Amino acid sequence: MAKTPYDIDLDRNPANYQPLTPLGFLERAAAVFPNHTAIIHGPLRRSYREFYTRSQRLASALARRGIRRGDTVAAMLANTPAMLECHYGVPMCQAVLNTLNTRLDAAIIAFSLDHADAKVVIVDREFSKVMKEALALARVKPLVIDYDDREYTGAGERIGTIDYEDFIAQGDAGYAWKMPDDEWDAITLNYTSGTTGDPKGVVYHHRGAYLLAVGNVVTCSMGKHPVYLWTLPMFHCNGWCFPWSISVVAGTHVCLRAVRAAAMYDAIHTHKVTHLCGAPIVMATLLNAPANEKKPLPHVVEFFTAAAPPPEAVLAAMKEAGFNVTHLYGLTECYGPAVVNDWHAEWNALAPAEQAMKKARQGVRYGALEALDVLDPETMTPVARDGETLGEVMMRGNVVMKGYLKNRASTEKAFAGGWFHTGDLGVMHADGYIQLKDRSKDIIISGGENISSIEVEDALYKHPAVAAAAVVAKPDDKWGETPCAFVELKAGASATTEELTQWCRKHLAAYKCPRYVVFAEIPKTSTGKIQKFKLRDGEGGVRRLAVPRRSRSERARNPDASIGPVSGFRARAFSAPRNDGFARRNLRWRNASRPSGKFFIESGRRSILSTGHCRARPGNDGNCGCAAADR
């Protein structure tokens, strides 16, 4: 490239160039607003001065233990002050923060610890049981630090060698924290949900975290000193980068260990919350709360949701309740949300049904994302802007991941052709708004969590009575989507929904287990390949699965069960033994064009209270933390 006058004697130097990093946001907030409340957690109040000092102490204590650039520090924590401190303190010593999904099983956690070569693990006492199991399975032997949150009063033992408070007390409050050597340096590691086998480690860099954090402030129209309620798990894409975003505008973090209607309404009312994020289940929890738990909102509260678009009735109910809902879209690989359904004022004049159609679209790119398109993955050319032609949603820009850790092949595949391939299939509307239509890898998004249909099928196939299994997403008003398993049994074998559900719970995290099981002949091609599109959208597919209203006697006898017919493809007759734990009835196949047959469907749903509490977990104390995903 030929040099121009603008390339000569105009080099980078420390005066005109510093690597972008979100760590400076906290330093500035502490300098400008040292006494402003940064964190609220129960009765605890911490100022920005304290928040910054404690983060420095954490960085210093880690450095004194030999933690250096590129070392991984894992954190298995609820939405607590310690988790916020980790988002600053860990990268302040140039280490990489790996926030672990608290809902995963020990085997996957052990895989993550080994794959990341974790040097330190900070674990909340609530999750000590599964972490203890994971550490026993893992090859690495990290320093384990216990975090005993005063707001948590449930079961759990200390499994580490030092307490978190004692650990940071060893650090220097005046520690001169380190900028990244390069803004391309890794800041965090987030594992995908294992949709195609072992989970992939998504690496974020300082530059991307900085840009997405600022992008959130712009997209969410955050003014000075917002009050943000933590209903979104911070382990999920680093809380969509909001741990850093809030410091940009010196806002207040209101921590919440578990999603409970009473706690959310109380926090919104008491602390005058302005913003919160969450999956559709959070909206359902708010709307379905009993009257005595609801409190009047101090103002219109901005609610940002991802995953499946909210139904029209939910949007209307949220608006009536005082929430303004904005639909976002993103993936772990793009730091969380990078697409927003930017609302036009003139759309307010549309009928509710038309507004709901507009709201159902994923939208347009964040300002921090350079390009968003729907392309033909074979030719890498844009599809027609007609809202009908299907293509793959692709992105490019500075808020796309650095790549997958220790997985060159997957990284190269994801970035083929100079675009990030999301794997999501969608259309482009004439006004430039994208809308998802399907997922190329059959991912089920339930309560904001990705569930691999392949992983669930693998667990079912291990059952001795199962001949074939196919798992697809069933639309669900509460969870967005929920796994529905179609099962063929081996000749002469028998199994019930309760048996298969319990089997899955032994092999999978609870939230991945199917809530519906259909015993039927699974449609296949002539070569024996399962035709999932028929199970999803065909005449006998899951979208047509009906759940009839049960009689009062049935509901009294089996309160946790629901059944319903599926029609359209050949179903075999089964005479499974009666299961006292679940209601079952034989239903006539409704498609008159085919020979009559009998089948049944059982739903092994756990009982969920209107507040989202789970009544089924053994030894549950009403604070199981499952409202967001752990069904």
pLDDT in tens, 147-203: 999 999 999 999 999 999 999 999 999 999 999 999 999 999 999 864 345 689 999
Q: Is the pLDDT of residue 620 over 50?
A: no
Question: Could you give the CA distance from residue 90 to residue 67 in angstroms, rounded to a whole number?
Answer: 9
- DSSP bridge pairs for 75: 99, 122
Task: Tell me what the pLDDT averaged over the chain comes to.
Answer: 83
* pLDDT given at position 462: 86
Q: What is the pLDDT of residues 125-154, one digit of tens each?
A: 999 999 999 999 999 999 999 999 999 999
C-beta of residue 195 within 8 angstroms of C-beta of residue 444: no
Q: CATH fold of 443-602, please? A: GMP Synthetase; Chain A, domain 3 (3.30.300)
Average pLDDT over residues 498-506: 93
Residues 6+ apart with CB under 8 A from 183: 19, 20, 21, 205, 206, 207, 210
C-beta of residue 479 within 8 angstroms of C-beta of residue 627: no
| Residue 224, token pair as written in the block | 């000075």
Stretch among 129-143, 228-242, 454-468 having the lowest mean pLDDT: 454-468
If pLDDT is split at 50, 70 and 90, which confidence band does 19 have?
very high
| Residue 488, token pair as written in the block | 């063929």
Average pLDDT over residues 532-541: 72
Output the CA torsion 274→253→215→432 (10° steps): -50
Q: Among 96-100, 572-576, 599-603, which range has the highest average pLDDT?
A: 96-100
* pLDDT given at position 600: 32
Q: What is the pLDDT of residues 545-594, one digit of tens each?
A: 654 443 444 444 444 333 333 333 333 322 223 232 322 222 222 222 22
Q: Among 182-191, 420-429, 506-515, 567-576, which range has the highest average pLDDT?
A: 182-191
Q: What is the pLDDT of residues 277-296, one digit of tens each?
A: 998 788 888 988 999 999 99
* pLDDT given at position 458: 79
Question: Could you give the CA distance from residue 603 to residue 264 in angstroms, rounded to a whole number?
Answer: 30
Cα angle 245-226-433, degrees, rounded to a multiple of 5: 60
Q: What is the pTM of this model?
A: 0.76
Looking at 93-205, list the stretches that DSSP marks H as alpha helix, in order from N- to C-terminal side: 106-116, 128-137, 164-169
Q: Is the pLDDT of residue 228 over 80?
A: yes
Helix (H) or strand (E) holding 40: strand 37-41
Q: Is the pLDDT of residue 227 over 80?
A: yes
C-beta of residue 175 within 8 angstroms of C-beta of residue 59: yes
Cα angle 113-256-57, degrees, rounded to a multiple of 5: 60
Residues 6+ apart with CB under 8 A from 256: 79, 229, 230, 231, 263, 264, 267
* Domain spans of the chain, in order of start: 443-602
* pLDDT given at position 545: 61
- How far is residue 578 from each of residues 270, 521, 548, 552, 586, measured CA to CA in Å? 51, 21, 20, 19, 11
Q: How many CA atoms within 13 Å lie on the side-chain side of 124? A: 26
Residues 6+ apart with CB under 8 A from 364: 339, 340, 341, 342, 372, 432, 433, 434
Is residue 383 classed as helix, strand or coil in its secondary structure?
coil
Residue type, 41: H
Q: What is the pLDDT of residues 297-338, one digit of tens each?
A: 999 999 999 866 676 777 888 989 999 999 999 999 999 999
